[in-house]
A and B are shown apart, each in its own frame.
Chain A
Amino acid sequence: MEPAEAEFLAEKELVTIVPNFSLDRIHLIGGDLGPFNPGLPVEVPVWLAINLKQRQKCRLIPPEWMDVEKLGEIRDQERKEDTFTLMPSPYYMELTKLLLNYASDNIPKADEIRTLVKDTWDTRIAKLRLSADSFVRQQEAHAKLDNLTLMEINTAGTFLTQALDHMYKLRTNLQPGESAHSQDF
C-alpha cells in the first residue's frame, strides 16, 4: 500500500471544526454531516475539514491528543519502552501532517507538535528496523508486533517482505546450486 492510500484512509477520521457558515444537514453516502451552525463546533471528516479550511470556511479545533504536553509524554513513553506503545490515534502521523499543513494557524505550538510527532515516529521506526533485523538474524518463522499503525506497517512492509522473498530465494537456490555442481562430477 502506498502512503497516499494510508493518508486517504486517515481522511475519514473525524475532527471538530467551528464553521463560519450556516448549512443544514448534508446527506452523503458515508453518512449525514452537520448541521453546520456558525460558531458551533461540529464533527466532520478530515477531508471535509481540510476542504473547508482551505476555503476559509471554518476554524479547526485540534484533536485532544495534539497537545505539546500530551505528545511529550507519549514520546517519552515511547523512548522508555522497548515495545511499541499505543498511539493516541491510529492515524497520528497522517493527521499531524494533514492538519499541520493546512490548519497550523489553528493549532497552538504547531512547530513543537511537528517535532514531537516526528520524534515519536523516528523512535518507532527505529524500533521497527531493530525488530526486523533481529527477526532476520535469528531466522524466526513469525513475529508479532502490537500497536503498529497502518502507515508504519507500510513503510516497513513492502521492503521487508520483498527482502524476505529474496533471501528465501537465495537460500533455496543454495541447495539446487550445490546439487547441480555435484552433477558436474
Chain B
Amino acid sequence: MRYGHTEGHTDVCFDDAGSCIVTCGSDGDVRIWENLDDDDPKSINVGEKAYSCALKNGRLITAVSNNTVQIHTFPEGAPDGILTRFTMNANHVIFNSDGTKIAAGSSDFMVKVVEVTDSSKQKTFRGHDAPVLSLSFDPRDVYLASASCDGSVRVWKIADQTCTTSWPLLQKCNDVINAKSVCRLGWQPGSGKLLAIPVDKVVKLYRRETWDSEFDLSDTFITQPLNVVAWSPCGQYLAGGSVDGSIVVWNVETQECIERMKHEKKYTICGLAWHPKYRQIAYTDTEGNLGLLENIGDGNKPNDKVTSTVTKDYNDLFDGEDDDYLNGDMIEPQSSPKTGANEDDGDDDDLMPTSGHLRRAIVDDDDNSLDIGMIKANSNLLEKEDEDDDDDQTGGFPALPPSSTQQPFYDGPMPTPKQKPFQSGSTPAHLMHRFMVWNSVGIIRCYNDEQDNAIDIEFHDTSIHHATHLPNSLNHTMADLSTEAVLLACESTEELASKLHCIHFSSWDANKEWTVDMPKDEDIEAICLGQGWAACATSALLVRVFTVGGVQREIFSLPGPVVSMAGHGEQLMIIYHRGTGFDGDQCLGVQLMELGKKKKQILHGDPLSLTKKSYLVWVGFSAEGTPCYVDSEGIVRMLNRGLGNSWIPVCNTREHCKGKSDHYWVVGIHENPQQLRCIPCKGARFPPTLPRPAVAILSFKLPYCQVTTEKGQMEEQYWRSVVFHNHVDYLSKNGYEFDENAKSQSVKEQQELLMKLFALSCKLEREFRCVELADLMTQNVVNLAIKYASRSRRLNLAQRLSEMAVEKASELAAALEDEEEEEDFRKHLNAGYSNSTTEWSRPPVRNVQQDQEMEDAEETDAYEEVEETPEVHKQRPNPFSKGVTSAEVTTPKSVVIASSSQGRVNPFKVSSNKKDPVLPSTNVLDTMSKYSKKTSLSSSRAVNKQNPPVIKPLIPKPKTKQALAASFFQARTPNSSEKTVEEREEKAGNESHEVKVTAQENTENKRPKTGFQMWLEENRANILTDNPDLNEAEVIKEGMSRFRMLSSEERMVWTEKAKGGTVNDLTENKKRKHPATDEDDVKKNQEQKSEDSNLSKKPKPLDQSTNVRLSAFAFKQS
C-alpha cells in the first residue's frame, strides 16, 4: 500500500492492457502508476476534485467538481472536451463494455448516458429521489443499474429510459457523504446474467430478466457494510471491499470465499479494480492510499487445510471444490503469460512483482508524516522481490502459476517493515533544508539545493563555540553535536567509502579535524558522541568506538541492525532490531553500556517497550544522564533505575496537541527542573527549518489512575518526584558531582506529599492505608505522622505507626552498623554518647518558623514534661511502644539506633501551650504549605521573625532549629536556661567555627554532660596509660568501645549521674564544657566532617541563610 492522493474519496481502474493503474482523488489529480512502486507517477490535473474516473480505448473520463464529465486522452492527458454537465457533480462515471457510451450519475438525482463520440446524443434517466451513488452498465447494453441515496437500486432500460425494476435495498440518506456505503454495484461481465449489489454486509446477486434475488454472498470476515464490489474480467469472481478495509473475493459459482484481506489501517475501501489479465486487484481507500492485492485465490489447495483448521465453518465450502476452481476461467489469465511469454517478460518489470503472496505495508498517513525510513525499507524489500521474480522467470516459469501452487495461503499476522536507522533530532534526509540534529547543545542544519550544499552548525550557548558553516562536499547525512565536537558521517558512494568525520573543536592543538574511512561495503548507519568518545554503528552490525581525538577504541558486534544510538557522558545507548515485528509493531532491543574506566553493560539487549503499532522517533539521555526515548505515538519513556532499570512512561506529548495531526518534536529532556523540551509542529511530525521554530516546554505526567482526585494527583506527584530524582542516586553512586541542595529539596517535597496523603487518608478513615504510607516515609516524618494520628485521636493508628517506627529504626541502624560501624562510633562520640533516653521523646522534625516563635512556650513545655516524667523518658523511649522493653532501650545498641534515627516526640503529649488553641483535627497541610511557601519565597532571615501560622496542632513539639543537634544526642536537661543550651547545640550541629566564634552567648552556654563523657573523663587516664600514643580521636574511640562493654546497668548509672550533674550544677557544667566536650566536638567534627556529612542532620550551610538551612533540614532524611 502506498500514498496516492490526499485524503478523501478516490477511484481506481486499470488501463485496457493492464500495464498501469489509474487513480483519481480529491486532490483533483489523475495519477498513472506504472506499478505500485512507481515513485513518480504521471499526474494529470483534471479539476479541483475528481470523484470518479473510467478509462477505455485511450479515453479517460472523469467526474470533477465543476459538475462536468470530461474526457482526457490517455496516456497523454490532454483535455478532449466536456461530455456532459450536471447541476451538481457526478458521483460515478462508467464506460459500457465496448467503450462507446458512458453513464454518469449525479448528485442532482439524474443519470445520463452519453455517446463518447457525440456528446449531443444524451439520454437522461429521471426517477431517483436523491443523489445517485453508483452505476453499472449491462454488458449487453440493454440495461443500466443505478444505486441512489434514496435507498433504491433501480434497473433502467437504456433504450426507452424507463425504470424496469427497483429494489429498496439501501439505507436512505440525504447526501453522498452521509451514505453508509457508496454501493458500487456490478453486472457480471460477459453474459450479464447476474447483478451484484453490496447491501450491508452481504452481496446480493439478482438474476437478469426475472430480477429475483438469486443468492447472497457473505463471509464472517466482513464485519462492516460493504462499499464496493467488482467482478473479475472473467466473470467468475467477485471482490467486495468494506468500509472497515476488508477485501473479500468469492468464487461466484461455488459461492466460496477464496481470499480475505484486511487493510492494515482499516480505512474504507472506495475503489476496486481487477487487472484485466492477472489475478490482481488494485484498491484505493478514502485516505488516498493505493494498494494492490495479488495472486487472488493463490494456494487455494493448501489453503483448504489451513483455513479449515482455522475456521471450521468453512469446511463444507472448501470441500472438493478446488479442482473446479483450478479448471475455471481463472486459468485463462494465468496461462496468458505463457502464450505471450516474450511480451510479458518485458512487461513484468513494469508490473507489480507477482511472486510471493504479499501485501505491501507502509506505515504512513500523509506526505509530511511519512516516514522515509519506512518507505526505503519497503522499496528495498520490493526490489529484492523483483529480483526473486526475475530468478523465477529465468527458471523458465512464468511468475504466477508456480508460485501460486507453492505459496500457502497465509492469513496470520503480517511482518512489519523494519524501521530505518535514524539520528535523534533530525528531520528526513530527502528534504532540501533539514535539521541534521537538534539537541541540547545546538543545531546542525543541512542545505542541499541548487546553489549550495552546506552544513550550518549553531550552538545554543555561544560560549561553547561560534557558529560554523561547512561545505558539504561529501554529502554527509548524519550528524551529532556535543560540547566537545561535531561528528558527521556519510554513506558510501560508488567510488568513496563511508566516512566518519569529526570536528573536534575543543582540541587544544592545531588539528581540529579527523576522518576515518569505513572498510569496503560497510556503511555507517548511526553515530553518536559522548564525553571523550565517538561511536558509529555500521551496516556490518558493528559498533566502533573512537576517542574524540580519533584513536580507535573498542569494537563490538550488535545482535541486529541498528536503529539509533545516543551518548551521554560515558554512557552509550544503542537501539537495534531484535527481530521482526508483526502487525505494525517494531521489535527493538536496547543496550546500555558505560565506556568509562569501569566498562560494563547495564542493559543487555532488553526488549524496548513501544506503544502498539508505533516506531521509535527519538532516543537520547536527559541532561542528567538518564536514558529516554520517544515513540511515534508521542509517549516519552524514561529508564527507572529505582525499579530494576525498567522503563516508565513519563509523558504523552499527544495529550498536549490541539489537532489530530499536530505533533511535538522532542529535542531534549531535563529532570531538574522537570522539562520536556520540544518543538510544536502543526500538522506535521517535524518542523521546517524556516521560519525558525521555537522551543516549547512540556511538563511530565506519569499515567497514574484517577489523577483528577486529590489522592491520585498526589500519588502521581510523589512517584514522579521519586522517578525524576533517581539520577541523583545514580550520579552519587558513580562518583559524579550532583546538587546536594536539589536532593534534599526533592526528599522534602516527597515527604511533604506523603504527609499530605497521610492526612488525607486519615480524614477518610483509611488507617491501613495510613500505615502503608508511613512505610514510605523517612524516620522523622513518621514521627510527625504519629503525632498527627494521636492528635486526631487515632490511637490505634498511632500505636501501629510507632511500632513501625521502631522497626524501621532498627533496620536502619542494622544497615548502618553493617556499613559503617566506624563512623557510628565517632558520631556518637561527637554527640555525647550518653545522651539519653529523654531524647527519644524529642520530635526531630521541625517547622522552623513555628519553632522560632514557639520557643518560649515550648521551653516551658519541655521543661514541664521532663520534670513530670523523667523516669518514663528514661525507661521508655516511646510511650506508645509498650512492647519495647526498657532493657532494649537501654542497651547501647538501641541508643545507637536512637541516635542515628533521631529521637521521637511523645505523641500523646498535649501541649499545654496557651498559644496553641487550635483543635487537634486541624490539617497538618496548612502548616506545611505555608511553611514551604515561605522558605521558597525568601531566604532572608527576616522570615524567621514573622508570625507563625496560627495552626499548630501538629507543630513538632518544642523543636528548635537547633534540634538538629538532637541527632548528636545532647542531653536536653530540664533547664531553665534551655535557650542557651540550644544555642550550644546549634553550634555543635552546625559544625561551624564561625557560629561558635561569633555567638556571644557562647560564654554562658551550658552543655549538659552526657554519661559517656563523664565516664570518659574518669577513664581517660586509664586509656592513655594503656595506649600512650593515641591521639584525641582515638582515645575517644577506644573509650567508646570500652564504654560499650559495660553492662547496661552501669551505663545507666552514668547517665543518671550526668543528668543529676547538669541539673544541679550549671556552673560546673559550664566550666567543664569548654575544655572537654566542646573542643572535642569541634575537633571531631572537623575531622569527620566529610564522613558525617551525609549522616549528620545538617548540610554545611555557611553561605545560606538560617531559614534555608533549617527548611532543608526540616525534612532531611536521617
Contact flag A40-B677 (CB < 8 Å), given A18-B694, A61-B694, A108-B691: yes
**Do B695 and A20 touch (CB < 8 A)?**
no
CB < 8 Å neighbour of B461 from A16, A20, A59, A61: A20
B311 in the interface (beta carbon within 8 A): no
By the criterion CB–CB under 8 Å, are B694 and A20 in contact? no
> Which of B463, B691, B695 is close to A39, meaning CB atoms less than 8 Å apart?
B695
Chain A residues within an 8 Å CB radius of B342: none
Return the CB mask of A58-83 against B: 1 if under 8 Å, else 0: 01010000000000000000000000
- Pick the residue among A16, A39, A56, A61 that contacts B460 (CB under 8 A): A39
| Complex CA distance for A59 and B692, rounded to whole angstroms | 11
Are B461 and A22 interface neighbours, CB within 8 A?
Answer: yes
What 0/1 readout, one digit per residue, does chain A (4-43) give for beta carbons within 8 Å of chain B?
0000000000001010111000000000000000111100
Cα A18 to Cα B691 with chains together (Å): 14
Once the chains bind, are A38 and B461 in contact (CB under 8 Å)?
yes
How many residues of B sit at the interface, in one of the four size bands? Answer: 10 to 19
A39 in contact with B694 (CB, 8 Å) = no
Q: Determine the chain B residues whose CB is within 8 A of the CB of A16 once the complex forms.
A: 694
Report whether over half of chain A's contact residues are helix, strand or loop; otherwise say mixed: loop
CB distance from A137 to the nearest CB of B (A): 49
Task: Enumerate B431-465 residues with CB–CB distance to A below 8 Å.
Answer: 440, 442, 459-463
> With A39-B440, A40-B697 as given contacts, are A21 and B691 in contact (CB-CB < 8 Å)?
no
A21 partner residues in chain B, CB cutoff 8 A: 461-463
Cβ contacts A103-135/B at 8 Å (1 or 0 each): 000001000000000000000000000000000
Give, as a whole number of angstroms, the nearest-CB distance from B265 to chain A.
36
Contacts of B677 in A (CB 8 A): 39-40
Cβ-closest chain A residue relative to B623 = A37
Query: Within the assembled complex, what's the spacing in Å between the Cα atoms of A20 and B443?
Result: 12
Nearest chain A CB to B989's CB is how many angstroms away?
29
CA distance A160 to B442 in the complex (A): 55
Q: How would residues 155 to 178 of chain A score, 1 for a CB under 8 Å from any chain B CB and 0 otherwise?
A: 000000000000000000000000
C-alpha gap A28/B462 in the complex (Å): 25
* Interface residue from A18, A20, A57, A61 paired with B459 (Cβ < 8 Å): A20
What's the minimum C-beta distance from A32 to chain B, rounded to whole angstroms? 11
Q: For the side of the interface on A, what is the size category?
A: 10 to 19
Which chain A residues lie closer than 8 Å to B459 at the CB level?
20, 38
CA distance A136 to B459 in the complex (A): 60
In the bound complex, residues from chain B placing their C-beta under 8 Å from that of A18 are 694-695
Distance in angstroms between the alpha carbons of A21 and B692 in the assembled complex: 18
Closest A residue to B461 by CB, please name it.
A38
- What is the CB-to-nearest-CB distance from B997 to chain A, in angstroms, rounded to a whole number? 30
| Closest Cβ–Cβ distance, residue B937 to chain A (whole Å) | 11
Q: Can you name the residue of chain A whose Cβ is closest to the Cβ of B464?
A: A38
Min distance, Cβ A29 to any Cβ of chain B, angstroms? 15
**Bound form: Cα–Cα A57–B440 in Å:** 17
Residue of A nearest to B458 (CB): A20
* A185: min CB distance to chain B, Å: 80
Closest residue on chain A to residue B670 by CB atoms: A37
Question: Which residues of A have CB within 8 Å of B692?
Answer: 59
Complex alpha-carbon distance, A56 and B458, angstroms = 14
B1088 nearest CB across to chain A (Å): 32
B457 to A: closest C-beta gap in Å: 13
In the complex, the chain A residue whose C-beta lies closest to that of B667 is A39
Give the chain A neighbours of B461 by CB distance below 8 A.
Answer: 20-22, 38-39
Tell me which residues across on chain B come within 8 A of A22, comparing CB atoms. Answer: 461, 463
- List residues of chain A with CB within 8 A of the CB of B695: 18, 39-41
Residues in B neighbouring A108, C-beta threshold 8 A: 691
Q: Which residue of chain B is the closest to A106 with respect to CB atoms?
A: B692
Nearest neighbor of A22 in chain B, beta-carbon distance: B461
A39 to B697, CA, bound (A): 12
A95 to chain B, nearest CB (A): 18
Contacts of A56 in B (CB 8 A): 462
Rounded to whole Å, the gap between the CB of A120 and the closest CB of chain B is 23
A75 to chain B, nearest CB (A): 22
Per-position 1/0 for B335-361, Cβ under 8 A of A: 000000000000000000000000000
Residues of B within 8 A of A41 (CB): 694-696
CB distance from B690 to the nearest CB of A (A): 9
Map CB proximity to A onto B663-702 as digits: 1 under 8 Å, 0 otherwise: 0000000000000010000000000000110111100000
- Distance in Å: Cβ of B260 to nearest Cβ of chain A: 52
Tell me how far the C-beta of B666 lies from the nearest C-beta in chain A, rounded to whole angstroms: 14
Instruction: Say how far A31's CB is from chain B's closest CB, in angstroms.
Output: 13
- How far does the alpha carbon of A16 sit from the alpha carbon of B695 in the complex, in Å? 11
A20 lies within 8 A of B691 (CB):
no
Q: In the bound complex, what is the Cα–Cα distance between A154 and B766 (angstroms)?
A: 67
Chain B residue at smallest Cβ distance from A61: B694
The CA of A139 and the CA of B514, in the complex, are separated in Å by 84
Residue of chain A at shortest CB distance from B467: A20
Complex Cα spacing A40 to B675, Å: 11
Which of A38, A56, A108 has most chain B Cβ within 10 Å? Answer: A38
Question: Which chain A residues border B463 with CB–CB below 8 Å?
Answer: 21-22
By beta carbon, the residue of chain A nearest B692 is A59
By beta carbon, the residue of chain B nearest A36 is: B461
Minimum CB–CB distance for A36 against chain B, Å: 10
User: Considering the chains assembled together, what is the distance between the CA atoms of A22 and B462 in angstroms?
Assistant: 9
| Least CB separation from A56: chain B residue | B462
Which residues of chain B are within 8 angstroms of A59 by Cβ–Cβ distance? 692
Question: In the complex, what distance in Å separates the CA atom of A108 from the CA atom of B691?
Answer: 8
Within the assembled complex, what's the spacing in Å between the Cα atoms of A157 and B697?
A: 44
B658 to chain A, nearest CB (A): 16
* CB–CB A38/B460 < 8 A: yes
A40 to B462, CA, bound (A): 13
Q: In the complex, how many angstroms separate the beta carbon of A172 from the nearest chain B beta carbon?
A: 59
Distance of A78 Cα from B461 Cα, bound (Å): 42
CA distance A144 to B460 in the complex (A): 50
**Shortest Cβ gap from B292 to chain A (Å):** 44
- The residue in A22, A40, A61 that gathers the most chain B C-beta atoms within 10 A of its C-beta is A40
B462: which A residues are within 8 A, CB to CB?
20-21, 38, 56-57
Return chain B residues, CB-CB under 8 Å to A20.
459-462
| CB nearest neighbor in B for A40 | B695
Name the distance in Å between A106's Cβ and chain B's nearest Cβ: 9
Nearest CB in chain B to that of A57: its residue: B462
Determine the distance from Cα of A59 to Cα of B443 in the docked complex, in whole angstroms. 14
The residue in chain A whose Cβ has the minimal distance to the Cβ of B438 is A39
Q: Please, which residues of chain B bring their CB within 8 A of the CB of A57? A: 462
Q: Smallest distance from the beta carbon of A57 to chain B beta carbons, Å?
A: 8
For residue B466, give the distance in angstroms from its CB to the closest CB of chain A.
10
Bound-state CA distance A38–B696 (Å) is 13
Give A28 Cβ to nearest chain B Cβ, in Å.
Answer: 15
A41 to B697, CA, bound (A): 9
Q: Mark B692-714, 1 if CB is under 8 A from A, else 0.
A: 10111100000000000000000
A26 to chain B, nearest CB (A): 15
Determine the chain B residues whose CB is within 8 A of the CB of A39 once the complex forms.
440, 442, 460-461, 677, 695
- How far apart sit A61 and B693, CA to CA, in the bound complex (Å)? 10
Report the bound CA distance from A41 to B692 in whole Å: 13
Q: How many Å lie between the Cα of A102 and that of B692 in the bound state?
A: 19
With both chains docked as a complex, state the minimum distance between the C-beta of B768 and any C-beta of chain A, in angstroms.
Answer: 44
Distance in angstroms from B641 CB to nearest chain A CB is 25
Q: How far is the CA of A40 from the CA of B440 in the complex (A)?
A: 9
Q: Mark B971-986, 1 if CB is under 8 A from A, else 0.
A: 0000000000000000
Contacts A38-B461, A40-B677 given; 6 further ones with Cβ under 8 A?
A18-B695, A21-B461, A40-B695, A41-B696, A57-B462, A59-B692
- Residue numbers of A with Cβ under 8 A of B are 16, 18, 20-22, 38-41, 56-57, 59, 61, 108
Ordered by A's residue number, 8 sampled pairs between the chains whose C-beta atoms are within 8 Å are A21-B463, A38-B459, A39-B442, A39-B695, A40-B695, A41-B694, A41-B696, A59-B692
Identify the 4 closest CB pairs spanning chains A and B, nearest first. A39-B460, A38-B460, A38-B461, A20-B462
Residues of B whose CB lies within 8 Å of any CB of A are: 440, 442, 459-463, 677, 691-692, 694-697
